[in-house]
Structure 1
Amino acid sequence: MSFDLIIRGGQVVAGDGAPATLDVGVVDGRIAALEPELAGGGAEIIDAAGLLVLPGAVDAHVHLNDPGRTDWEGFATGTAALAAGGTTTAIDMPLNAIPPTVDGAAFAAKVTAARGVTRIDVALWGGLVPGPLDRLDELAAAGVVGFKAFMSASGVAEFVAADDLTLLEGMARAARLGLPVAVHAESDVLTGRLAARALAAGRMGVRDYRASRPVIAEVEAIERAMLFAAETGCALHVVHVSSGRGVTAIAEARARGVDVSCETCPHYLVLDAEDAERLGAAAKCAPPLRPAAVVEELWARLLGGDIDLVATDHSPSPAALKDTGADHFAAWGGIPGAQTLVALLYDSGVVARGLDVARLAALTAGAPAARFGLAPAKGSLTVGVDADLLLLDPAREWLVTRDDLLDRHRLSPFVGRTLRGRVVRTVLRGTTIARDGRLVGEPIGRVLRRDGTPA
């Protein structure tokens, strides 16, 4: 048989078991064969000896901000960074675009902005904000993977937080549409009043900000969202959970039959409160970084199987929005991490804590693709699916530098960190799109509907 591409002799992670030495044969952008010492020739042959071959990452939580805030991040630069880091599909959040993705017209504007410039395949979240619920029907018809709501202030005026009635009624409508709702779960009452109290007293530092967003604010909001999900029959996804207590509450609800999943982010797994003090605004996020003991609780929950997926919450901004002097509350609360998802999890998880590489693949690709409707085409290495994959050199150590980064502002808090395990090639539908941290070829990414068809 003749193939368009053969990847020979890599350690292929193609299921729940240990990696196996296999060849991957690709025809017309899809995996056509997975066999040892595959017979036949190929127009292109990649020697993957000594490398891990993993499904291309599916990053379920990125902020690409296009159109309207391309000066923060756009499809061109954001997907360049994602491609270089091994991500082949990302799901863009609705809030930072102008207009935000809250109706069919805004969805169409997103598609137009992405077409011809996106380096990877991109799907879209829709927004759940106060207003007519018919907009959710428009977004569902357009092809969103689900609806995102904030239970506390989003940080941008254009995307208003969902009050309890909006969230409850929105979940009921989402359930009828067969789509999940994702929530940023922090209590607006607790965080808002604690922040106001601190600022009134002139307390504006890193510790003051962290104290204004305690773990209980996260746990209370998670519990409330799960109560609404159980009431309405809505599938719920809790984004960027930062604490073991939050994950425990989700696991307990799941055991009771609530359809709820959760994600955490690399920054909650590899940075802690001391890093927040050292890095300042570069490490500001919401929820904030937690003490080292809480980080270890989060790892325990991940290693125990209670966390469904890991996503970056890539949320960059211009340097001026981070440079707010002594007022840490005023700084933009987002961490850029598009390029380091797989490498950070491999180094801190597989190398440092014995995380199984099949579990790594599930956390970064299989679970998000399945949860948000992009499987079976995305998220696995199986005959018949899109040939989206990454090659990782498990022995290679590298220092993260600003020169490595391809996102718009390159303000990553992970600069200066030495990692073991580097993505050396990213392949989208059988075509190499990045090699050794640099882009290859012209953009070939597509905007996808939830069913995997192009928008």
Structure 2
Amino acid sequence: MTSYDLAVRARSVFVDGGWRPATVAVRDGIVAAVADYDEEVPAHEVVTLPEGQVLIPGIVDTHVHVNEPGRTEWEGFGTGTRAAAAGGVTTIVDMPLNSIPPTTTVEGLAVKREAASPQASVDVGFWGGAVPASLGALEPVWNEGVFGFKAFLSPSGVDEFPHLSTAQLRAALEEIAGFGGLLIVHAEDPDVLEASVNQGGTDYAAFVASRPELAEQDAIGHVIEGVRATGARAHILHLSSGRALEAIRAAKAEGLPITAETCPHYLSFSAEHIPDGATAYKCCPPIRDEANRELLWEALLDGTIDLVASDHSPSTAELKFAGDGDFQEAWGGISGLQLSFPAVWSGARQRGIPLERVLGWMASSTAALVGLGQKGSIEVGGDADLVAFAPEESFAVDARALEHKNPVSAYDGSTLHGVVHTTWLGGTVVHQLGVAPGAPAGKLLSRSTG
């Protein structure tokens, strides 16, 4: 009989779009067979999940700021990928900022890969960056294997990653269309933001007013116009505005190659429940009101929003709480990589949305965005990235106990459903609840290697 490296048996396995009892057999990091639950599967190691745990594919998070090198005190590949594994995330795609240097050149990409390679506990891919100075030189970076290019349409918050004007956005889309790439866009219009500046301070409502929905609507309109004119693929990042959904729906109905994501924090929190001065919740675009949050959930269900990614954007506590609660001074970003999957599942469960929909938004659709066809599902020939997950177990979030480098989280003190017990990467355990992490087992990904 053929022997496998690992066999994981569970009464509920998400495979072929549904749930069934099965045994997943792994050889050389790949799913080699999906057998019946009771079938004898010879393997060097056989794991049977207890009642209450289901076997699911690893989460693919396509929006993560690791910040190493240059701002490694904010996060790093060691801590960031351990946090990913602890949250059931087996693949991340790292943003081209806030590292120094940013990933806007072939040389910058090489520096990033050198930093990541010895530390990665999960598989890591990379986005390139489209900034004014890199326009006209994007294709060499694409040829080095990045999954696409990130652009800001308003100031990014760091000087080494300036934003594109509307004319430069069009130039970037034309260039990217020429080699069949992908532009991913932070879509807020700088003119609207400039017109909305207020005195700020600790008032959360004033912070939201300083980044109105119109900023997203106008910027997304510019992206849609550019896609229509060039035929380039574009993806709207961290959509927070329900008012922008109509334009995205219309663009999709028109057949334009445009997709969109939202984030766990926009699905979990609402402005009505954010206290003044609570800068742990600051992000850009901002968390808006409850009615807006429900529009985002509806847009996920009807397919207007394609996927959910964490936008893990950590910083030191000193930066996150700068200004003693002044939203203008504090760093804007939510640290949530380890909690993103349980947070979205908790919100879905509360609304009667089944777990398979969440897996679609956070595993298969994210993998599809970046062309990682061997990830995001459990199927023969695919990577054996597996998670033993207890959907009905709950836990209280203690930011100090997370794997993130800095103990800062908007989720601190929340109770979430969904406990990750074991995470396998290519059939190797990279996280086990209550057990110290082992040696890093992640590999670097590119479009050429998958």
Smaller-chain TM-score bracket: over 0.9
Residue matched to 2:6? 5
SS of the residue 1:339 aligns to = helix
Q: Which moved more, 1:326-335 or 1:138-147?
A: 326-335
Residue matched to 1:92? 94
Residue matched to 1:43? 44
Q: Which amino acid aligns with 2:448?
A: D
User: Following superposition, which runs of at least 4 residues in structure 1 exceed 6 angstroms of deviation?
Assistant: none
Structure 2 distance, partners of 1:317, 1:60, is 19
Q: Which amino acid aligns with 1:257?
A: G
In 2, are the aligned partners of 1:388 and 1:430 still within 8 Å (CA)? Answer: yes
Residue matched to 2:444? 447
Is the aligned partner of 1:369 residue 2:364?
Answer: no
In 1, are the aligned partners of 2:203 and 2:276 still within 8 Å (CA)? Answer: no
Structure 2 distance, partners of 1:80, 1:347, is 22
Structure 1 distance, partners of 2:12, 2:190, is 47
Is the aligned partner of 1:185 residue 2:200?
Answer: no
Q: Which amino acid aligns with 1:162?
A: L
Q: Which moved more, 1:159-168 or 1:31-40?
A: 31-40
In the superposition, relative to structure 1, how do residues 263 and 437 fare at CA in structure 2: closer, same or farther (>3 Å)? farther
Structure 2 distance, partners of 1:423, 1:330, is 35
Residue matched to 1:331? 330
Q: Which moved more, 1:164-173 or 1:272-281?
A: 272-281
Q: Which moved more, 1:22-31 or 1:321-330?
A: 321-330
- Number of matched pairs: 446
Structure 1 distance, partners of 2:337, 2:134, is 33
1:209-220 superposed matches below 5 A: 209-220=207-218
| CA displacement at 1:326 relative to structure 2 | 4.9
In the superposition, relative to structure 1, how do residues 151 and 40 fare at CA in structure 2: closer, same or farther (>3 Å)? same
Structure 1 distance, partners of 2:365, 2:248, is 16
Residue matched to 2:233? 235
Q: Which moved more, 1:30-39 or 1:19-28?
A: 30-39
In 1, are the aligned partners of 2:237 and 2:261 still within 8 Å (CA)? Answer: yes
Residue matched to 2:293? 295
> In the TM superposition, what whole-angstrom CA distance separates every residue of 1:133-179 from its partner, at most 9, and x where no partner exists?
34311211110000000011101011000111211111111111211
1:298-377 superposed matches below 5 A: 298-323=296-321, 324-349=323-348, 351-375=349-373, 377=374
SS of the residue 2:142 aligns to = helix
Q: Which moved more, 1:294-303 or 1:110-119?
A: 294-303
| CA displacement at 1:278 relative to structure 2 | 5.4
SS of the residue 1:286 aligns to = coil
Q: Which amino acid aligns with 1:287?
A: P
Structure 2 distance, partners of 1:452, 1:275, is 45
Structure 2 distance, partners of 1:369, 1:439, is 28
Q: Which amino acid aligns with 2:237?
A: V
Residue matched to 1:152? 154
Structure 2 distance, partners of 1:365, 1:279, is 35
Structure 1 distance, partners of 2:71, 2:320, is 16
In 2, are the aligned partners of 1:369 and 1:378 still within 8 Å (CA)? Answer: yes
> In the TM superposition, what whole-angstrom CA distance separates every residue of 1:314-354 from its partner, at most 9, and x where no partner exists?
001011112212531111100000101111122110x2112
In 1, are the aligned partners of 2:120 and 2:440 still within 8 Å (CA)? Answer: yes
In the superposition, relative to structure 1, how do residues 283 and 204 fare at CA in structure 2: closer, same or farther (>3 Å)? closer
Out of 94, 103, 106, the position equivalent to 2:105 is 103
Residue matched to 2:27? 27
SS of the residue 1:149 aligns to = strand
Q: Which moved more, 1:294-303 or 1:242-251?
A: 242-251
SS of the residue 2:196 aligns to = helix
In 1, are the aligned partners of 2:202 and 2:276 still within 8 Å (CA)? Answer: no
Structure 1 distance, partners of 2:357, 2:308, is 11
Structure 1 distance, partners of 2:109, 2:180, is 19
Structure 1 distance, partners of 2:59, 2:398, is 22
SS of the residue 2:43 aligns to = strand
Q: Which amino acid aligns with 1:419?
A: L
Unaligned 5+ runs, structure 1: none
Structure 2 distance, partners of 1:110, 1:437, is 31
Q: Which amino acid aligns with 2:15?
A: A
TM-score (ref. length: structure 1): 0.95
Structure 2 distance, partners of 1:112, 1:251, is 41
| CA displacement at 1:302 relative to structure 2 | 1.5
Structure 1 distance, partners of 2:165, 2:301, is 34
| CA displacement at 1:444 relative to structure 2 | 1.1
In the superposition, relative to structure 1, how do residues 204 and 345 fare at CA in structure 2: closer, same or farther (>3 Å)? closer
Structure 2 distance, partners of 1:25, 1:146, is 33
Out of 381, 385, 389, the position equivalent to 2:386 is 389
Residue matched to 1:418? 415
